[in-house]
Chain A
Amino acid sequence: MSASLDPSLNAAPGSVLSARNAFTVALLAIIALFPVYSTLTGDTFVLTLFTRVLILAIGAVSLNLIMGYGGMVSFGHAAYLGIGGYAVGILAKEGIDTGLVQWPVAIAVSALYALVVGALSLRTRGVYFIMITLAFAQMIYYVAIGLDRYGGDDGLTIYKRSQFGGVIDLNNKTLFYYLCFALLLASIYLISRLVNSRFGLVIRGVRSNERRMSAIGFPAFRYKLVCFVIAGAMCGLAGALLANHTNFISPAMMHWTRSGDLIVMVVLGGLGSLFGPLIGAVTFLLLEEGLSRLTEYPDLILGPVLLLVAIYVHGGIEGLLQGRRRG
C-alpha cells in the first residue's frame, strides 16, 4: 500500500519498512491510540490537542495539493477554515443544526469562494498570486468582523454541535477524534489517487514547467483552477470540523497569520509529499504548545527552527527521513 501511495516516481524501491515508512506507520499508530490513553488515564488534554492537530492537518493536506504538487503558493488558505466554520456557526444560529446540511454547505461555499478567487488570482504568478490570495482572505476576514448578527469581532458560540440524526454524536470526544482521524486519512488517500491520476500529472507538470505544458497542448489554467477548488473544498470541511471542535467561530480563525501557519506546516513537513502535511502539523502544533509553556515568546525559537529547515532540509521532515539534504 505504501508503495502505491508514494507520489515520487523514483523513490527508493523495495523495502516497505524504510525509515520514512516506519516513522509514518509509528506516527499513525500513536495517533490512533491516544483515545485509549485518554480513556485509561482520564486525561483528555492530549485528545483535545490532537483533535486540533488532525483537523489542521486536513487543512495542511489540502494546501499541500495546490502548493506542493501544483506550485500555487496560496497565502489565504485559512479563509476556507473560516468559511467552513462560519457555515456551521451561522446555520446553527439560524436553527439548522443538522450536519447533513451544514457540512455540504461548508464545502460548497468554500468551493465557490475558491472558484472566484482562483479565476482571478491564477492569471497571475509568483508574488502577485500570493498577494491576491492574501487580499481575498483579508477581505473575508473583515466581512466576518462586519457580521454583527454572528458576533462580529467577538465571534459566536455554537451551542449545539452538528447533528447526524443521533447516529453520530459529535459530543463524544473519542468518536469525534476518530471521525477527524478517518477524514484525515481519507483526504490523504484522495490526494494519493489524485496526484497520480491524469489530472494529478497535469497539475505536477504545470508546477514543473507550465510553458512546456502549453506547448504540448494543455490549457493549464483550467486544470489549476479545478485543483484550487478541490483544495478549497477540502479545507472548508476542516473548517466545519474546527467549529465543532471549539464550539466557537470568530474572525481569528482566518487571520492571515493562520494562513501562514498552514504554509509553515506544509513546508516543515515536506512540500509535495503525502504524509508531510500531517507530520508538519504535528510538529508545528506540538512545538507551539510546548514552547508557549517554556517561554512567553515561542516564535523566537520557532522562527529559527523554521529557518533552518527551509535553508538546510530539502523536502522538510519527510525529506529528512528519506535522507535528502539540500546542496
Chain B
Amino acid sequence: MFTAVSKVCCKAAAVARSLLQIQSLTRRFGGVVAADAITLDITADEVHAVIGPNGAGKTTLIGLLSGEITPQEGSIRFEGAEITRLPVYRRSMLGLARSFQITSLFRDFSALDNVALAVQAHRGHSFRFWRDARGEDELRQPALAALVRVGLAERAAVRVDKLSHGEHRQLEIAIALATQPRLLLLDEPMAGMGPEESAQMVQMLRQLKGSMTILLIEHDMEAVFALADRLTVLVDGRIIASGHPEAIRGDAAVRQAYLGEKEGGDQGGRHG
C-alpha cells in the first residue's frame, strides 16, 4: 500500500517536471527511417540539444514535434496533453514554437511587421477587418520587445529583404519568441553564421535560458556545449546516447559515431 502511494507520488513529480514526452516516435520515408522509435523526455526549463551527423533525422524530429510531419507510430505529449496529430497552428497555440533552419520570413514586410504578426496570432482571432493593425499598440509593443530581446530593435522598420543574413537569423528567433512559447524548437539557429555572429547568438540564447524550455538542434559544437543542459545524439534516426554533456563527451560510441569522426583528433582531445 505504502509503496504504491509513493510510486504514484514520484510518478506525479516526474510528470510535473517533464514538459514534452516523446514515445517511440517513428517516421519512415520510403525505405529510409528518419525517426526510429525515438523516446525522449524534455524537462521543463532545460536546454536540450540534439546533435548528429547530416541525415541523422534532426530536422525530421523538429517537423514531427511542430506538426508538419505526421508520425507512423508513437506519440507526443506536451504538458500532459496528447498532441501527436494536432495541426501545426494548434500546437503553436499550446505554446510550441519553432525557428527554421532555412530562414522563413515574410519578405515584403518590415522586421517589426514580421514579429507583430506572430503576436497577433496569439491575441484572439484575426477576423477584424477595419482597424489599421499597424497602429495597434497591443501588437506593436510586444513585437518590439521581442526585437529588443534579440538585439534587432534598431532595424524594426527595415524591410526583411534589406536585412543581412545574420539579422534574418535573429528575426527568426524573435518571431518564435513573440508567440511566448513554453517550448522553443530551434533548428540550427547558427546556420550560415560567421564566428562573431555565432558568439552573439549564443550570448542571446544564454539569456533565454531558464525562461523557457529549448530544444536545440545545432552543428556548432562549441555552441552546443556552451548552452546545453542535456544532450541527445541522433544517428540514422535513432538515439544512440542521451544525458549530461560531459557524459556524452566521454561516450565512446558517440565519439566513434559522431564527435570523433566529425571533429577530428585534435577537437576530440579538446573535448576530452
Contact = CB atoms under 8 A, between A and B. Distances in A.
Interface residues of B, number: 40
A197 B129 contact: yes
Given A196-B132, A214-B87, A217-B121, A208 B66 contact: no
Interface stretch (A49-57, A174-182, A198-206): A198-206
A193 interface: yes
Assign chain A's interface to a size class.
20 to 34
A6 to B, nearest CB: 12
16 contacts: A10-B159, A194-B130, A198-B120, A198-B128, A199-B127, A202-B117, A209-B106, A211-B104, A212-B175, A214-B87, A216-B97, A217-B92, A217-B93, A217-B121, A218-B126, A220-B89
A9 B108 CA distance: 8
B37 to A, nearest CB: 26
Given A198-B139, A213-B117, 6 more contacts: A9-B159, A199-B128, A201-B126, A215-B88, A215-B97, A216-B117
A199 B121 CA distance: 11
A193 B110 contact: no
Contacts of A205: 106, 109, 117
B108 A216 contact: no
Contact of A196 (B89, B105, B106, B133): B133
A209 B66 contact: no
Given A215-B88, A218-B121, A198 B106 contact: no
A194 B106 contact: no
Contact of B117 (A10, A193, A201): A201
Interface in B174-194: 175-176, 178-179
Interface string B228-239: 000000000000
B88, B110, B126, B159: most-surrounded residue (chain A CB, <10 A): B126
A10 B136 CA distance: 18
Interface in A197-248: 197-202, 204-205, 208-209, 211-220, 223, 226
